[in-house]
């Protein structure tokens, strides 16, 4: 059995056996008060929904395929453009698609080694899709749920999983960086949470507490937890229960709320009215997921700003440029991330990347090709929104739908 079938089989087993979330002692997990108030606002199915096992398996295959295409395509432009002065300041536009890739902030003048031009990155049949921080921890959480035969991971199970499956920098077999350290390919809040588990013995959610982890508002949870929405199809309330502690392994406040938005989107993909045009499906899902964002949060205000500008008919490039000015420069709506992460002006922060992701989601209008293109060109940590929406749309399309969208076949080997 190849890797993709193993992964989708694990997802399918979890889905088919997870009618109610339980902890490792098979006890019902209580809803956290913070989550309970938000879940009450999310539309829940009123009627029985029947989901075909075979069709769901195909949708999960489409998820992995769409996410992989989008992830590796987005990596071409990752951190190329972050605003401000200098070569990384002037953002890409749609006219840059197919043109020469520019170096990233750490590229030392060298463009991406994935593609000379800004273009899709594919793996052909017989080749193997790789993973990075937009997919690898999702693999791990999936594995932990399956091996522990549970739907709600405990703090100890999460910690042990992180320490068993993620290298420390000292243990990493990967090459040395310029500063002489090994690279384990963890970043910002993920790296800090791992250090807190390894060196101080802390358990989630203490690993994301602001007193312990100054990176708690970074992007990390948005990369690693949206898959929980697929473990609870059409039940965002259960999906949020399952994802609650994994999200709070690395995130609090706005970063956690943005991650929960993604989880709800993934769960709603099995509930949305599929008779609607795909554009209308996406709009309904996004507006429904918006309800879980606290109205006072900058995440909610970012969504509302992008949504209003999208409805006004201005271009996505205009909205992206306005986001830079509004949040990174003017620091409106309480968005003051630069003081907490001066490196690259807060470009690893949850907020600005969440806002950019809403641009590609709404302006892509359910077209997986267009959505990935916009996410790749939008700026900042471009592979993150690309991977998230590539995965969601890949799920909605299924394997054949993804192939038809790109008019080609792809590798079926995933690592």
CA distance 373 to 406: 12
Q: What percent of the chain has pLDDT over 90?
A: 73
What confidence score (pLDDT) does residue 287 get?
Answer: 97
Cβ distance 310 to 319 under 8 Å?
A: yes
Mean pLDDT in residue range 309-320 = 98
CATH topology for 3-43+51-174+182-414?
ADP-ribosylglycohydrolase fold (1.10.4080)
Local confidence band at 35 (pLDDT 50, 70, 90 cut-offs): low
**Does residue 342 carry a pLDDT above 60?**
no
**Which tens digit of pLDDT belongs to each residue from 158-215?**
999 999 999 888 887 776 665 667 778 888 999 999 999 999 999 999 999 999 999 9
Mean pLDDT in residue range 60-64 = 97
Mean pLDDT in residue range 391-411 = 98
Task: Name the DSSP letter for residue 356.
Answer: H
Place of tokens 């000015």: 325
Hey, which bits of 246-306 come out as E strands? none
Query: HSE (CB half, 13 Å, CA atoms) of 378?
Result: 35
CA distance 21 to 228: 11
Residues 6+ positions from 406 with CB-CB distance below 8 Å: 69, 120, 122, 369
Residues 6+ positions from 344 with CB-CB distance below 8 Å: 79, 82, 105
Place of tokens 């049949």: 125
Cβ distance 298 to 313 under 8 Å?
A: no
What confidence score (pLDDT) does residue 312 get?
Answer: 98
User: What size, in residues, is the chain?
Assistant: 415
The domain ranges of the chain are: 3-43+51-174+182-414
Query: HSE (CB half, 13 Å, CA atoms) of 270?
Result: 29
**Which tens digit of pLDDT belongs to each residue from 19-32?**
444 433 333 344 45
Cβ distance 406 to 73 under 8 Å?
A: no
What confidence score (pLDDT) does residue 180 get?
Answer: 66
In this structure, are strands 128-129 and 413-414 parallel, antiparallel, or unpaired? parallel
Cβ distance 24 to 157 under 8 Å?
A: yes
Residue 3 corresponds to which tokens in the numbers above? 């890797």
Range with lowest mean pLDDT among 233-237, 273-277, 341-345, 406-410: 341-345
Local confidence band at 33 (pLDDT 50, 70, 90 cut-offs): low
**Which tens digit of pLDDT belongs to each residue from 354-389?**
999 999 999 999 999 999 999 999 999 999 999 999
* DSSP assignment of 185-207: ---HHHHHHHHHHHHH---TTGG
**Kind and range of the H or E element at 150?**
none
Cβ distance 249 to 158 under 8 Å?
A: yes
**Cα→Cα distances 399→50, 124, 367, 371, Å:** 20, 15, 15, 17
**Does residue 268 carry a pLDDT above 80?**
yes
> How far apart, in Å, do the first and last CA atoms of the chain sit?
13
Task: Name the DSSP letter for residue 383.
Answer: H
**Kind and range of the H or E element at 129?**
strand 128-129
**Cα→Cα distances 28→41, 46, 242, Å:** 22, 22, 11
Q: Return the CA Rg of the chain.
A: 20
């Amino acid at each position: 059995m190849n890797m993709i079938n193993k992964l989708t089989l694990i997802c399918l087993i979890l889905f088919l056996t997870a009618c109610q979330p339980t902890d490792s002692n098979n006890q019902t997990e209580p809803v956290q008060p913070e989550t309970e108030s938000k879940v009450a606002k999310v539309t829940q199915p009123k009627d029985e929904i029947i989901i075909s096992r075979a069709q769901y398996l195909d949708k999960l295959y489409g998820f992995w395929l769409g996410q992989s295409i989008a992830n590796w395509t987005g990596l071409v432009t990752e951190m190329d453009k972050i605003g401000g002065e200098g070569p990384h300041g002037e953002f890409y536009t749609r006219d840059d698609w197919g043109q020469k890739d520019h170096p990233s902030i750490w590229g030392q003048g060298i463009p991406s080694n994935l593609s000379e031009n800004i273009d899709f990155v594919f793996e052909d049949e017989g080749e193997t899709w790789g993973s990075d921080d937009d997919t690898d921890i999702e693999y791990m959480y999936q594995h932990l749920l399956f091996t522990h035969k549970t739907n709600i991971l405990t703090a100890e199970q999460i910690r042990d999983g992180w320490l068993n499956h993620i290298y420390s920098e000292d243990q990493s077999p990967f090459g040395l960086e310029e500063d002489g350290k090994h690279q384990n390919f963890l970043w910002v809040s993920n790296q800090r949470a791992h250090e807190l588990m390894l060196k101080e013995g802390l358990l989630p959610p203490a690993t994301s507490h602001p007193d312990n982890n100054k990176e708690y508002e970074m992007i990390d949870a948005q990369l690693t937890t949206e898959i929980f929405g697929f473990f609870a199809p059409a039940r965002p309330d259960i999906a949020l229960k399952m994802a609650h502690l994994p999200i709070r392994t690395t995130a609090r406040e706005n970063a956690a709320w943005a991650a929960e938005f993604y989880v709800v989107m993934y769960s709603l993909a099995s509930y949305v009215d599929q008779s609607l045009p795909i554009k209308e499906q996406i709009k309904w899902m996004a507006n429904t997921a918006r309800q879980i964002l606290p109205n006072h949060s900058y995440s909610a205000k970012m969504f509302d700003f992008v949504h209003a500008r999208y409805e006004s008919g201005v271009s996505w490039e205009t909205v992206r440029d306005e986001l830079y000015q509004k949040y990174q420069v003017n620091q409106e709506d309480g968005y003051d991330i630069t003081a907490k992460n001066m490196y690259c002006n807060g470009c690893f922060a949850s907020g600005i990347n969440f806002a950019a992701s809403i641009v590609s989601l709404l302006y892509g209008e359910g077209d997986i090709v267009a959505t990935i293109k916009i996410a790749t060109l939008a700026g900042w940590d471009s592979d993150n929104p690309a991977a998230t929406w590539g995965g969601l749309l890949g799920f909605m399309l299924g394997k054949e739908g993804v192939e038809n969208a790109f008019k080609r076949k792809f590798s079926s080997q995933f690592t």
